[in-house]
Amino acid sequence: MHSILLMNPLITPDPGLVIWTIIIFGLLVVLLGKFAFKPIVASLTERQEAIQTALDSAKKAKEEMVALQAKNEDLLKEAKEERNRMLAETKELSIKILEESREKAKVEYGRLIENARKDFQTEKTAALMQLKNEAGKLAIEISEKLLKKELSDKAAQESLVTTLVNEAKLN
Amino acid sequence: MPAKLYSNSRLKRFSLLFILVFLNALSSFCQEGEKAAVEKKYNPTPTILEHIADANDWHIMGHVHIPLPVIIYDMTAGNWEIGMSSKYPVVEEHEEASAHGHEEATESPISGYVMKEGRIVSGEGHQLLDLSITKNVFAMMVSAFLLLLVFITVAKACKANAGKAPKGIQNLMEPIVIFMKDEVVEPNLGKHAPRFLPYLLTLFFFILFNNLMGLIPFFPGGANVTGNIAVTMVLALFTLIIINVNGNKDYWKHIFWMPGVPVPVRMILAPIEIIGVISKPFALMMRLFANITAGHIIVLSLVSLIFVFGNAGESAVMSGAGAAVAVPFTLFISLIELLVAFLQAFLFTMLTSVFLGMAMAEHHHEEAH
């Protein structure tokens, strides 16, 4: 068994092939390592880093964009609020002005009415005075005429006196 | 449109694979055709073993051999023997020679160096140190050349395309490199990863390229490089050396004097751990060797079915039946071998990273044990 194992060329390492394998594989390790795999791995690492950096900066840009958008929205919101506030103020002011003018108009109107009333009162008083005077004058004229007519008749005079006396008594 | 392109290229790849398998079958047929004429019962074992083993020349088919350089140091005579393999006379095995009849008898003394079962041996029984460019060495050189060509091209493309999207062969290899870097080496080695990454990547692609070249059934593929124990032994030795050179204080402490266990247990554990130092790379060596050799043997056995069924070319109908069975099975196994080629390269590299990572890990005994 031992000799069969040793003799079998399948599992007996051939010294020549061992030496050649060491030479070829050793040379390959040196040459491929230096001229192929080092530059390849370096370029791969570089690319990986470049891609990572690009991804990171893209992410950062996106975040900045979002922040900017939020800021814009805030600004817009503020502007809207400002506008609303200004609108409200204007409305208030206009209402106030309207109110004030209405108030003023009322006062003016009242004053005018008052003046008119006063004028009217004065006119009325004057008219009444005049009417009184006229009525007085008319009454005197009428009494004068009556007296002239009555005093021509004796009996009428006496009855008049009596009437007057009675009236006076009653008073 | 891209989907169509994809399926188209997949179809091309499948058909290419099918052609490869067919050629595999065809070349074996050519090899066996003439032997079959003389042998009554077809025996596939010598063919399979010839394919699995290393050789001093490259057997293509029949009597067509590609000669390879022979460099031999005769340890008995103390001289060098250098030449091309084609100049050495071929002697057959004893039983084959007697079966052929016309071959020269092996009993007659042979002088000098002769080719026997694909290897140069001394006729006088001298001890030889064979430093020839054998079939496996040549195949390994082809793979090494391809590796250098591919990865230096990729490295150049990396420099030229800096800051641009990868394309072409760069695009093909980069994901594999990234996978090995991010999923295998860095999780196991952490901060030490950059130091070992070039070695581990070379290891991975060396095994992968040789595995894949071994699946190509014609020259210069088809050699059983990673299924040769000498090759896997060297790779395992590199792993062994790297682990033990880079192992830290904790690693050696865990081997000789396991912390956190009673003293008698430490004494039992020490020899086990010392065996473990060797057995880990030994398992790596055996795993790669056995998997790749087994793959080659299965494919060749399935192809041999054609000749076994046809009783070595005597019955065309049975050969056809054998082919009908063998071709789909060979296709299926070849696909599995394609997976195994990647899997074994991955496993060898991953386990080397794991062992290395364990040897370099910083332990915190208070908590861990």
Token code pair at residue A161:
């006196």
Judged by CB atoms closer than 8 Å, whether chains meet at B178 and A43 is answered as no
Give me the mean pLDDT over the B224-238 stretch.
93
What CA–CA distances, in Å, run from A53 to A41, A49, B160?
A: 18, 6, 21
Q: Is the pLDDT of residue B230 over 70?
A: yes
Q: Which residue has the higher pLDDT, B101 or A143?
A: A143
Choose among B53, B130, B140: nearest Cβ to A16.
B130
**In Å, what is the CA distance from B39 to each residue of B34, B61, B316?**
9, 17, 16
Lowest mean pLDDT among A95-104, B1-10, B127-136, B327-336: B1-10
Instruction: Give the best-scoring range by mean pLDDT among B2-16, B25-39, B190-204, B318-332.
Output: B190-204
Grade residue B110 by pLDDT with cuts at 50, 70 and 90.
low
**Tell me, what's the pLDDT at B21?**
52
Q: Which amino acid is at B75?
A: M
Q: Specify the 3-state DSSP secondary structure of B80.
A: strand
Residue A11 with chain B: CB contacts under 8 Å: 229, 289
Per-residue CA distances from B235 to A29, B188, B230 (Å): 11, 19, 9
pLDDT bracket for residue B95 (50, 70, 90): very low
Across the interface, of A21, A27, A40, the residue whose CB is closest to B177 is A40
**pLDDT-above-90 percentage for chain B:** 35
Interface test with B, best of A5, A19, A21, A48 (most B CBs within 10 A): A21
CB contact under 8 A, A40 and B136: no
H-type alpha helices, A151-170:
154-170
Q: What is the pLDDT of residue B9?
A: 54
> Which one of B147, B158, B180, B197 makes the best mutation probe of the A interface by having the most chain A beta carbons within 10 Å?
B158
Residue A69 has pLDDT above 70, yes or no: yes
Tell me which of A118 and B20 has the higher pLDDT. Answer: A118
What percentage of chain B carries pLDDT values higher than 70? Answer: 81
Q: Which three-class secondary structure state does DSSP give residue B75?
A: coil
| A-B Cβ pairs (cutoff 8 Å, strict) | 124
Q: Is the peptide bond before B271 cis (omega within 30 degrees of 0)?
A: no
DSSP code per residue over B258-327? -TTS-HHHHHHHHHHHHHHHHHHHHHHHHHHHHHHHHHHHHHHHHHHHHHHHTTTTT-HHHHHHHHHHHH
C-beta atoms surrounding A169 within 10 Å = 7
Q: Give the SS3 label for residue B88.
A: coil
Question: In this structure, which amino acid lies at residue B210?
Answer: N
Does position B282 have pLDDT exceeding 50, yes or no?
yes
* Bridging pattern class, strands B113-116 and B119-122: antiparallel
Among B80, B151, B232, the residue to mutate for chain A (most A Cβ within 10 A): B151
ipTM over 0.90: no
Lowest mean pLDDT among A110-114, B128-132, B240-244: B128-132
Which whole number is the average pLDDT over B17-35?
50
Summarised one tens digit per residue, pLDDT across range A88-133 is 999 999 999 999 999 999 999 999 999 999 999 999 999 999 999 9
Chain A residues touching residue B116 (CB < 8 angstroms): none
Residue burial B246-268, b: 16+ Cβ < 10 Å; e: rest: ebeebbeebbeebeeeeeeeeee
The whole-angstrom separation of Cα B308 and Cα B202 is 41
Q: Closest chain B residue to A34 measured between Cα atoms?
A: B198
